[in-house]
Amino acid sequence: MAKLPADAHAGKARTEKASKGDKDTLATGSVARSAKLASIPLSAMGRSAVGFGRQMIGQSGDLVSKEMQAKTAEQVFRVLGELKGGAMKFGQALSVFEAALPEEFAAPYRETLTKLQEAAPPLPARVVHRVLAEQLGEDWRDNFAEFNDKPAASASIGQVHRGVWKDGRQVAVKVQYPGAAEALISDLNQIQRFAKIFQLFMPGLEMGPLLEELRARIIEEVDYKYEAEAQRICAAEFDGDSDIAIPKVVAASDKVLVSEWLEGTPLSRIISKGTKAQRDAAGIKLARFHFTAPTRVGLLHADPHPGNFRLLDDGRLGVLDFGACNRLPNGFPEPFKRLLKNALDGNAQALYEGFKKDGFILPEVDVDPQLVLDYLLPLVEPLREETFKYSRDWLRVQSARVGDPRNPTAKIGFQLNLPPEYMLIHRVTLGTTGIFCQLGAEGKFLAEAISWLPEIAPTAQSSRA
């Protein structure tokens, strides 16, 4: 089986100097982005003052709080939806947690969240042409029988154009925004300064680690040659697969990536309008890809949001965007599998000892093993039932449970440690779970996991311990 080489990524993105016009545009854009981002905490503080005033004149504190949360959330996602760079990347990562929000907050801006997964304002055609000329040569048009100047999709660091390659293949041409790396870093720095604002309407979601992990992915994501290498290896391994489709790479440079076009229905549309059969099929195939890629190719697709997946007419799940990947040359780490098995077995002492050994509980921390098990068991519930149905309600209950400081079990979460090498696996798992819940997917997820990770199979009669 193909594996991603350990040295596939040199660790540094290659960036070309922009023209003076592009530099001026970048500087102006950076100032505008900073101003928009700064408006979020300022507006939130203003709403807090207004809310206090309303309570002083007799309005219900709960009513005021809900109104403030709704308005804060609405503004956050509206602002993020207008931006590229790190702001949009953060918004995309945040969007998969929409399913954890109370319905009265989630409903008004679910459409905005979906837009974050699929689109952003496009670059002018002249800028796209300049990037293509710099990356593919002045005769870049000779590579194409057709090229559509209007983007088919836009994302956080680049936009996609549709074209026809010179050999007749339908292709997707991803063009990186000039100054994308600088914009990512600048925006994430801004967002990090007021991360706590997001917890006004997403209590229990730790923004700090999420932002730090996103920062670590920047260098990889702006290096399209690295992305192309990961995509080539995945496409070769899954070529002919009956469940997963990955487009083949046609050409790649530092800032341009040409892949075969993958026709299909965006997962966001399956979530909003798909049949139950489509949603269930998408869920189980997403789980299959999540469980199999580390074993088959030594990597974990690390950008799980609906904009990166398609449901093809033949029933396969199409997977896009390999810019962010967690390299796992030996598959999922053994401690991860061992701890999951202990949780599924309901073995509190073995789970506790494993947590201690592998650094999930620091040496100086002493907690009740049973409380640790009680904290984790509901989170692995989808793998403790023969058939499980994910839902927004289930995720809301779990989010509230682990985020409520009054809950004795929830306090365990603050005593656990997440070693850095597991941060990305943790985020991808949470993000994928968010998509399952948005889909409302139902299926045999335990059997799917065991078929690829037989080590986690619960001991007989223990899965309901």
Q: Is the pLDDT of residue 293 over 90?
A: yes
Between residues 248 and 29, the one the model is more confident about: 248
Inform me whether the pLDDT recorded for 287 exceeds 50.
yes
Residue 128 included in any domain: no
User: Is residue 376 domain-resident?
Assistant: yes
Same-domain check for residues 214 and 350:
no
Mean pLDDT of 394-415: 76
pLDDT (0 to 100) of residue 156 = 65
Domain boundary (166, 201, 218) is at 218
Catalytic one of 187, 280, 303, 321: 303
> Is residue 204 domain-resident?
yes
Task: Answer yes or no: do 62 and 194 share one domain.
Answer: yes
| End-of-domain residue from the set 171, 188, 218 | 218
Of 218, 247, 271, which closes a domain?
218
Query: pLDDT tens digits, residue range 115-139?
Result: 554 445 678 899 999 999 999 999 9
Q: Has residue 279 been placed in a domain?
A: no
Q: SS3 letters for the chain?
A: CCCCCCCCCCCCCCCCCCCHHHHHHHHHHHHHHHHHHHHHHHHHHHHHHHHHHHHHCCCCHHHHHHHHHHHHHHHHHHHHHCCCHHHHHHHHHHHHHHHHCCHHHHHHHHHHHHHHHHCCCCCCHHHHHHHHHHHHCCCHHHHEEEEEEEEEEECCCEEEEEEEECCCCEEEEEEECCCHHHHHHHHHHHHHHCHHHHHHCCCCCCHHHHHHHHHHHHHHHCCHHHHHHHHHHHHHHHCCCCCEECCCEEEECCCEEEEECCCCEEHHHHHHHCCHHHHHHHHHHHHHHHHHHHHHHCEEECCCCHHHEEECCCCCEEECCCCCEEECCCCCCHHHHHHHHHHHHCCHHHHHHHHHHCCCCCCCCCCCHHHHHHHHHHHHHHHCCCCEECCHHHHHHHHHHHHCCCCHHHHHHHHCCCCHHHHHHHHHHHHHHHHHHHHCCEECHHHHHHHHCHHHCCCCCCCCC
Q: What is the pLDDT of residue 208?
A: 64
Same domain, 60 and 200: yes
Could you tell me if 341 and 208 lie in one domain?
Answer: no
The answer to whether residue 252 is domain-embedded is: no
Domain count for the chain, please give it: 2
Respond yes or no: is residue 303 known to be catalytic. yes
Residue 425 counted as domain residue = yes
Domain boundaries, position 429: 334-456
Is 66 within a domain?
A: yes
User: Do the domain assignments include residue 135?
Assistant: no
